[in-house]
Amino acid sequence: MKARELKKKYFDFFTKKGHKKLPNVSLVPEDISSSALFISAGMHPLIPFLLGEPHPLGKRLVSNQRCIRTGDIEEVGDPLHLTFFEMLGNWSLGDYWKEEQISWSLEFLTKVLKIPQEKISVSCFTGDKDAPRDEESARIWRKVGIPKERIYFFGKKENWWGPVEDTGPCGPDSEMFIDTGRKSCGPKCDPSCQCGKYFEVWNDVFMEYNKTKDGKYVPLKQKNVDTGMGVERVLTIMQGKDDIFLIDEFEPIIKQLEKRLGVEYGLNNEITKSLRIIADHLKASVFLISDNVRPSNKEQGYVLRRLLRRSAFKAYSIDPKFSSKDFKSLVEVIVGIYPDYFQGINSDEVMAEVSLEIRKIRKTIERGLKEIKKHSTITGKIAFDLYQSYGFPLEMTEEIAQERGQKIDIKVFESEFKKHQELSRTASAGMFKSGLADHSEEVTKLHTATHLLNAALKQVLGSHVFQKGSNVTAKRLRFDFPNPEKLTPEQIKKVEDLVNQRIKENLPVKMEMMTLEEAKKMGAAAVFGEKYGEKVKVYSVGPLTSSGRPFSVEVCGGPHVDFTGKLGKFKIIKQEAVGSGTRRLYAVLE
């Protein structure tokens, strides 16, 4: 079975059950108030609706969503984890519940995919002080035919979802595993083990609690079902494999690497792991670039850089001659695996980006090697400095030390690394707050104010204005746009007045779903990663201007206030230049 067929079967199954199809959106969240770097699950773009905002397509939804999980980078190398993968999912927004979802899950796996029922195990939440054991799900699993020996109970770590931050919707989940037939890794091996015997293919999340500020778990009014099925995981099973890198979405990449590097996949653990990392990281990079991420030193661009770097290092350590040309031909192979996806994408540009970055990385490697040569003894501190300033991984430094008959004091490296990690963890914890908690009233208001500001700037300064960058916190908004000169006090006053006038008029903020083409026709600002034919959300605020278009109209993920009157008084508090020709404004609502 190929991915295309699996997706079709999933969509057919759930559309027959009244689900409406959602678009496959960009890996980079388009919701500007979201501080998560990437879409990491199909539910991610649905957060406002899981919180109760009515979805324009109804209460039953289905999607196939591309995902990036940076948190799984360290796992890549095992038989079942990827950083880039696709997720099928279906949702009930306060509609059907456990009975339907569990019986449909089993029906899909056994009747549609024809996976023998004996190979399926499931897990349910075991219960703790916060919430009771999920007997309801277990009972339904037994009722539909899963014997109790194959129903496992695990704790929060395995079988609980959310909340994303400290408070919010959360609940038990129930996961489905397929026995790949691999020998079990020991007497303790069960579906929670990651050795590759059991493949977790699907997770049914039952959002039924709201965790409150005082740490209580209160039953939710709107109970949601949120599910996620890994496309590559299911394909592994359907293609009779026990290793995700053996499916047809990876095989050509691995084959090409084997041929070029003169090695054989599966013979030697180290080589196998390296080939998996090269293939996975490069594929993730290709998808990131096609979603308009470019290598840089911050945020998404930094993750992209790290993925390419790691991929290049692994290739370099097998063969130092593995060049940007070799990477280019691998990108060609990856594009060839996804003809549907790359139809409207300029793959030459993707190839050029990869090969440019790889050339830089190869220089880094060579510089690092030169630096190492200057030291007669490689200490843990030197290893860490190389890692820190050149991105030179410990494995490479260790290998070089070994060749010289030296040994690096790993403890020193680790303690330096820990110090650094503490710092970056604090930074990324802040980053990873998914949109959820940030959909506070303050952020939502400032988000709507950002749209008004964008429109007002266009009216006052001219049509060259567009949103180059935006960032909203609970306290202020920040907005970057192209403009050659500093704004005069008069211009600032005009913009403020215009925004405040729109606020005073207490205009409704309307949301409609339409195709990207229709949105463009309406003159909607900003165009994101969706493909034609798929629906986007368009927010508009009247009144109509002389061009016949609403004052503000933007393609946007939301959320927004319903009436502008809720915003209060708008005030620009600061302006700056960022680079040449780009202005930055800070504004607040008083």
Q: Interface residues with ligand ATP (CB under 6 A)?
A: 69, 72, 81-82, 85, 87, 200-203, 228-230, 232-233
Q: Which residue has the tokens 């229709």?
A: 518
CB nearer ligand ATP, residue 202 or residue 481: 202
* Smallest distance from ligand ATP to CB 391, Å: 23
CB nearer ligand ATP, residue 131 or residue 229: 229
CB nearer ligand ATP, residue 202 or residue 528: 202
User: For ligand ATP, which residue has the nearest CB?
Assistant: 230
* Smallest distance from ligand ATP to CB 43, Å: 9
* Smallest distance from ligand ATP to CB 288, Å: 15
* CA separation for the pair 590, 587 (Å, rounded): 10
Contact residues for 521 (Cβ-Cβ < 8 A; gap 6+): none
Task: Check if the beta carbon of residue 416 is closer than 8 Å to that of residue 408.
Answer: no
* Smallest distance from ligand ATP to CB 230, Å: 3
CB nearer ligand ATP, residue 80 or residue 365: 80
CB nearer ligand ATP, residue 199 or residue 392: 199
Pairing mode, if any, of strands 120-125 and 84-93?
unpaired
CB nearer ligand ATP, residue 202 or residue 338: 202
Closest by alpha carbon to 66, among 50, 96, 45? 45
* Smallest distance from ligand ATP to CB 348, Å: 29
* Smallest distance from ligand ATP to CB 526, Å: 29
* Smallest distance from ligand ATP to CB 244, Å: 7
Partners of 525 in the β-ladder: 554
* Smallest distance from ligand ATP to CB 122, Å: 12
- Classify burial at 308, counting beta carbons within 10 Å of its beta carbon; exposed 0-12, middle 13-18, buried 19 or more: buried
CB nearer ligand ATP, residue 249 or residue 554: 249
CB nearer ligand ATP, residue 226 or residue 357: 226
Buried b (16+ CB within 10 A) or exposed e, 458-474: bebbeeebebeebbbee
* Smallest distance from ligand ATP to CB 401, Å: 32
CB nearer ligand ATP, residue 188 or residue 221: 188
Torsion sign (Cα): 424, 33, 64, 41: positive
* CA separation for the pair 28, 36 (Å, rounded): 9
Question: What does each C-alpha distance from 351 to 27, 331, 358, 472 come to in angstroms?
Answer: 19, 6, 11, 34
Task: Tally the residues of the chain.
Answer: 590
* Smallest distance from ligand ATP to CB 88, Å: 9
CA dihedral in degrees (71, 185, 245, 318; nearest 10)? 80
Question: What DSSP line would sit under 457-469, residue for residue?
Answer: HHHHH-TT---SE
* Smallest distance from ligand ATP to CB 107, Å: 18
CB nearer ligand ATP, residue 234 or residue 499: 234
Task: Check if the beta carbon of residue 508 is closer than 8 Å to that of residue 562.
Answer: yes
What tokens were used for 226? 């949120």
Task: Check if the beta carbon of residue 517 is closer than 8 Å to that of residue 427.
Answer: no
Diameter of the chain by CA atoms? 78
Q: What does residue 333 show for φ and ψ, rounded to 5 degrees?
A: -60, -45
CB nearer ligand ATP, residue 201 or residue 382: 201
Contact residues for 70 (Cβ-Cβ < 8 A; gap 6+): 37, 38, 83, 303
* Smallest distance from ligand ATP to CB 418, Å: 24
* CA separation for the pair 256, 73 (Å, rounded): 23
* Smallest distance from ligand ATP to CB 40, Å: 8
CB nearer ligand ATP, residue 209 or residue 479: 209
* Smallest distance from ligand ATP to CB 563, Å: 37
- From first CA to last CA, the distance across the chain in angstroms is 58
Q: Which residue has the tokens 């026995």?
A: 179
CB nearer ligand ATP, residue 121 or residue 203: 203
* CA separation for the pair 491, 498 (Å, rounded): 11
Question: What DSSP line would sit under 318-380, residue for residue?
Answer: H-TT--HHHHHHHHHHHHHH-TTGGGGS-HHHHHHHHHHHHHHHHHHHHHHHHHHHH-SS--H
CB nearer ligand ATP, residue 203 or residue 324: 203
What tokens were used for 281? 């990281």
